[in-house]
């Protein structure tokens, strides 16, 4: 509830009033790390990064200063790409969060941010920062909703037959899904080029008007169009070039493990796409392959509109949403 209230307050504040709060930020880790040295390292790393981001915002700098931060080049690129699209800042002087343990490191989630849109209202967003086992920052992206994250993890934890490896896989999947989502916001075509397999199947649904006759009344239907990876990324690059900004939000995240192929998962999200040129809402299904954990791949990506006829409030039947069973691997 506190986070919801905070977000609501931030959304109604002007850019100038938020900037009066911009300054040094302190992270306090309240749990999740036994080593006091590692805890202090993570606290200092996040504090310096958020403080430098705030300084870049208040001084209207073109680049974020990473000189006081132990951060790999890929993570610098994560921050700078988002910054190049739209500036942002942390509006709180102190952030208190726990540290989560991943398979290959650690993570701090739910870091509050305000995103500034040129000529439009500010939006509230939360970030996640990933670390290696020594506390070096190795990734920065936008998070899914905190309640949604908790729900997805608890769904598996409540299963009496759950395995620790699968819990770790779910954390890894969520981590990559958040990177995948952020790639659209920061217009990172290179990440998408790597994450889609070369023979990836891309399917997009589009609502079309159906002409009526004596048997079938007029109305709306969904037509599906197949694209190759090259075709999809080519059109997406044009979208990136033409849009001032792109904001993608994922809701209703569902993760299903393949019944026979260990390491293959179906991920379904309700996607909200907003840009200065176009907005839509629909279901995205992705078949993720984690059998090579160092290089996960998406073999299938589909999009279906949430509404078949929005004016009439007619939604897509949940039974018609693509699932793992819709495709052969």
Q: Would you state the pLDDT for residue 303?
A: 95
Q: Would you state the pLDDT for residue 148?
A: 85
Q: Where are the domains of the chain?
A: 2-143, 189-326
C-beta of residue 114 within 8 angstroms of C-beta of residue 10: yes
Rounded percentage of the chain residues whose pLDDT exceeds 70: 86
Q: Would you state the pLDDT for residue 15?
A: 46
Q: Which fold has domain 2-143?
A: Nuclear Transport Factor 2; Chain: A, (3.10.450)
The per-residue pLDDT of the chain, averaged, comes to: 86
* 209/121: higher pLDDT: 121
For 307, which DSSP code? E
2-143 with 189-326: one CATH topology? yes
For residues 196 and 202, what is the distance between their CA atoms, to the nearest angstrom? 10
**108 phi and psi angles, rounded to 5 deg:** -120, 125
| Among 97, 109, 102, 260, CA closest to 173 | 102
Full-model pTM? 0.84
Model confidence at 158, pLDDT cuts 50, 70, 90, reads low
How do 196-210 and 219-227 pair as beta strands?
Answer: antiparallel
Element (H, E) at 287: strand 279-289
For 130, which DSSP code? E
pLDDT in tens, 225-284: 999 999 999 999 999 999 988 889 998 889 988 988 888 999 999 999 998 888 999 999
* Averaged pLDDT for residues 14-26: 63
**225 phi and psi angles, rounded to 5 deg:** -125, 130
Q: Would you state the pLDDT for residue 209?
A: 67
pLDDT in tens, 120-135: 778 899 999 999 999 9
* 100/328: higher pLDDT: 100
Residues 6+ apart with CB under 8 A from 315: 306, 307, 308
Rounded percentage of the chain residues whose pLDDT exceeds 90: 58
| Among 306, 307, 305, 287, CA closest to 297 | 287
For residues 288 and 263, what is the distance between their CA atoms, to the nearest angstrom? 8
Q: Would you state the pLDDT for residue 5?
A: 44
- If you write DSSP's letter for every residue of 135-156 in order, what string do you get? S-EEEEEEPPPHHHHHHHHHHH
**Cα separations (Å) of 175 from 8, 44, 128?**
26, 23, 9
CATH code of 189-326, in short, is 3.10.450.50
Q: Would you state the pLDDT for residue 216?
A: 61
pLDDT in tens, 75-94: 999 999 999 988 999 999 99
């Amino acid at each position: 509830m506190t986070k919801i209230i905070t977000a609501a307050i931030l959304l109604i504040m002007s850019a100038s009033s938020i900037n009066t709060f911009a300054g040094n930020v302190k992270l306090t880790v309240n749990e999740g790390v036994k080593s006091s040295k590692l805890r202090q390292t993570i606290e200092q790393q996040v504090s310096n990064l958020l403080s430098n981001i705030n300084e870049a915002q208040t001084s209207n700098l073109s680049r974020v200063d990473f000189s006081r931060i132990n951060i790999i080049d890929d993570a610098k690129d994560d921050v700078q790409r988002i910054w190049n699209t739209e500036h942002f800042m942390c509006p709180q002087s102190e952030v208190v969060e726990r540290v989560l343990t991943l398979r290959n490191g650690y993570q701090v989630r739910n870091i509050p941010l305000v995103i500034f849109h040129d000529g439009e209202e500010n939006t509230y967003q939360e970030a996640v920062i990933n670390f290696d086992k020594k506390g070096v920052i190795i990734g920065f992206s936008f998070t899914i909703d905190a309640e949604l994250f908790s729900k997805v993890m608890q769904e598996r934890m409540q299963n009496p037959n759950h395995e620790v490896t699968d819990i770790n896989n779910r954390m890894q999947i969520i981590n990559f899904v958040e990177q995948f989502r952020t790639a659209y916001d920061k217009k990172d075509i290179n990440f998408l080029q790597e994450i889609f397999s070369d023979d990836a199947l891309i399917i997009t649904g589009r609502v079309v008007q159906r002409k009526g006759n004596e048997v079938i009344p007029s109305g709306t239907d969904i037509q599906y169009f197949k694209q190759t990876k090259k075709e999809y990324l080519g059109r997406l690059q044009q979208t990136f070039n033409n849009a001032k900004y792109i904001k993608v939000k994922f809701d209703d995240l569902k993760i299903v493990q393949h019944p026979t192929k260990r390491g293959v998962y179906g991920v379904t999200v309700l996607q909200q796409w907003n840009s200065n040129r176009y907005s839509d809402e629909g279901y995205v299904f992705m078949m993720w392959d984690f059998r090579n954990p160092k290089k996960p791949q998406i073999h299938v990506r589909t999009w279906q509109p949430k509404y078949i006829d929005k004016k009439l409030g007619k939604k897509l039947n949940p039974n018609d949403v693509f699932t793992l069973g819709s495709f052969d691997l």
